[in-house]
Amino acid sequence: MKSLKMYTRDFKIQVCKLVLDKNKPVPQLAKAVNVPSHTIYRWIKEYQDYGEEAFVGSGYLRSPEAKLKQLQKTNEKLKMENDILKKAAAYFATVPKKRSSSPKAI
């Protein structure tokens, strides 16, 4: 069984900055630092969501401002999804239903 590798917060932030600020390709960087690409993509998402407050570790909480920012972002995403679903429901409510040709009981 593989052991879980632990990376420091500073290491994760440096990797994220190499991708975001220096435009290093993730696959190339993943090979160079021996970290799976999918892990780096997850780090980047967390870094983009929380900035310098990302990767706080277990037992620590993010600041209320960071949590509020994340909740606002999630709220906007959910509003967009809700609008799409409302439009789809309105569209399908106006489309005439086709009659099914089921056999009639005699």
The rounded distance, in Å, linking the Cα atoms of 86 and 93 is: 10
Q: Quick one: pLDDT at residue 1?
A: 58
CB atoms within 10 A of CB 53: 17
Contact 40, 30 (CB under 8 A): yes
Mean pLDDT score, 75-92: 94
pLDDT digits (tens, 9 = 90+) for 30-67: 999 999 999 999 999 999 988 888 887 765 666 777 77
For the whole model, what pTM was predicted? 0.56
In the chain, % helix, strand, coil (3-state, to 5) comes to 65, 0, 35
Contact 12, 43 (CB under 8 A): yes
User: Phi-psi category of 11—alpha, beta or left, where left has phi over 0 and alpha has psi -120 to 50?
Assistant: alpha
Mean pLDDT score, 24-34: 96
Mean pLDDT score, 73-99: 90
